[in-house]
Structure 1
Amino acid sequence: MKLFEIPRQTVEGVLSLVGIRVGTEEPHYLSTELTGRVQIRRYGPRIAAETTVEADEERARNIGFRRLAGYIFGANHRNESIAMTAPVTQSDTIAMTAPVTQSRDGHRSTIRFYMPSKWTMDTLPAPDDDAVRLVPVPGETVAVLRFSGDRSPRTVESHTAELLEVLRANDIEPTGAPQAWFYDPPWTLPFRRRNEIAVAVSA
C-alpha cells in the first residue's frame, strides 16, 4: 500500500461514518417518480462479482461481503485492486413473495458487488476463490424504494412488502425477485444510511 493512500482511506472512513461516499462509483440509471417513496429506474448492462452463501440473512451478508471484498482487494489471478462501488446487493436464490417468511434453515443468499464501468468480462482478473463468480447483468428496469436506518431482516421484509403493495396499487407486475441494496458500510450512522429495496418490472 502506498503511503499517500493511508490518509486518503482514513478520511474516506471518517466521511463514511456520516454517509458521505467519496469517489464511489454507482451504476448509471435514468429514473421517473412513481410515488413519493418509489422510483422506476432504467439501468444499462453491468458486470457483477457475486457469491452464494447458505446462512441467515445477516450472516450471509457478512460472509458474502468478505469474500467479494477479498476479490476486489487483490485475491485474484493478477493481485490487482478493483475500486469499490455501490450498492452491495443481496437477494434470495429462490423465488420470493412478500412478506418474506422463509425459515433460516437452508436459507441461501446471493451477494453482489457491481464492477466499475471501465471493466469488461475480458479485462477483469479471475477470482482466486472458486466461490466468487463474475457474471454479466443485462440492462433492466427496476422499481426502487429507498429507506434509511435499520437494515435487519425484519426491516428489509417490511419495506419489501411496502414496495410490492405500491406496485400492486399501480398495476405494475414484478418480473423478478426483490433485492436489498446497501450503499454504506455497517459503521455509518443509521439515520445517514442509504438502503433500498429493488425489484425488476416490465420496461
Structure 2
Amino acid sequence: MKFLRLALILGLCLTGACAIATEEPAFTVSLAQGDCEVREYPALVVAEVSVTGDRKAAASAGFRLLAGYIFGGNTARQKIAMTAPVVQAPAAGQKIAMTAPVLQSGGDGQWVIRFIMPRGATLESLPRPNDPEVHLHAIAPARMAVIRFSGLAGPDAITANTAALSAFITAQHLQAIGPVSLAQYDPPWKLWFLRRNELMIPVAPAAQG
C-alpha cells in the first residue's frame, strides 16, 4: 500500500499534473539570525484536510486528497496552481495556528495538511471541493518564528531543529503562541540533500509603541 501511494504521487508528477511550485506566500522578515528568522505573513486562504496516522502516512494521504482538489476535483473542474510549501500541523482538539507554506504538524496520530492557495484567491472565487474531507479556510495574518534546514525531515532532524528554534525564541524574548508546524517545499523525486524544509512556530505580535 505504501508503494502504491508513492507510485500515485510520482505518477502525477511525471505526467505533469504535479509541476514544481513556483509561487510561495509573500512575507516580510523582521529579524534574522543564522538559519532562524521572524516573518510577518499576510492573510492567506488554504485548502486543508484532517488525517490520522504517523507523520509520513498522514502527509501522503493528505497530499493525495488535496491534489485531487487542485487537479480538478471541484465544482468547476478547474485546475488550481500548486504553491509551496505543503504544511502539516496539529489537529484533534488543538488550536491550529497559521502555517505557511505544505505544512505538517500534529500529535497522537492526528494531523492537518494544508496547501496554500495562489495569491489573490478568495473563499468566494475558489471552486468548492467535491470531496467533503477537503475544506477551504481563510487564515488571519500571523507572525512566525522559522528555522530552515535541508535534507530529510525525519524525527531526529525535527527534534534537533525544534530545540534550536525554541532556543532562538527564548533568546529573542519572543512568546510562542502555538505548536510547531513542518513546511516542505520540494517534490518527492528531488535529491534528499537538496530538499528545503522549515519548522514554524507562531509568536505573539510585536509590542506597539
TM-score > 0.5 by shorter chain? yes
- Aligned-residue Cα RMSD (Å) equals 2.4
Matched with 2:57 is 59
1:40-79 to 2 correspondence within 5 Å?
40-79=38-77
Residues in 1 aligned to 2:188 and 2:129: alpha-carbon distance in whole angstroms: 25
Aligned residue pair count? 182
Contact conserved, 1:58 with 1:152, CA < 8 A, in 2? Answer: no
Matched with 2:165 is 163
1:20-35 to 2 correspondence within 5 Å?
21=20, 24-35=22-33
State the AA in 2 paired with 1:79.
Answer: R
What secondary structure does 1:151 align onto? coil
What secondary structure does 1:40 align onto? strand
TM-aligned CA distance change 1:190 to 1:129, over 3 Å: same
Contact conserved, 1:28 with 1:43, CA < 8 A, in 2? Answer: yes
| Cα shift at 1:172 | 1.2
Residues in 2 aligned to 1:31 and 1:155: alpha-carbon distance in whole angstroms: 24
**Which of residues 171, 177, 180 in structure 2 aligns to 1:178?**
180
Contact conserved, 2:30 with 2:40, CA < 8 A, in 1? Answer: no
More contact order relative to length (CA 8 Å, sep ≥ 6): 1
State the AA in 1 paired with 2:173.
Answer: D
Contact conserved, 1:148 with 1:195, CA < 8 A, in 2? Answer: yes
Contact conserved, 1:76 with 1:128, CA < 8 A, in 2? Answer: yes
- Ranges of 4+ aligned residues in structure 1 off by more than 3 Å: 6-10
Q: Percent sequence identity over matched residues?
A: 37
Q: Deviations for 1:112-135, whole angstroms, at most 9, x for unmatched residues?
A: 000001211001011111111000
The normalised TM-score by structure 2 is 0.80
The normalised TM-score by structure 1 is 0.82
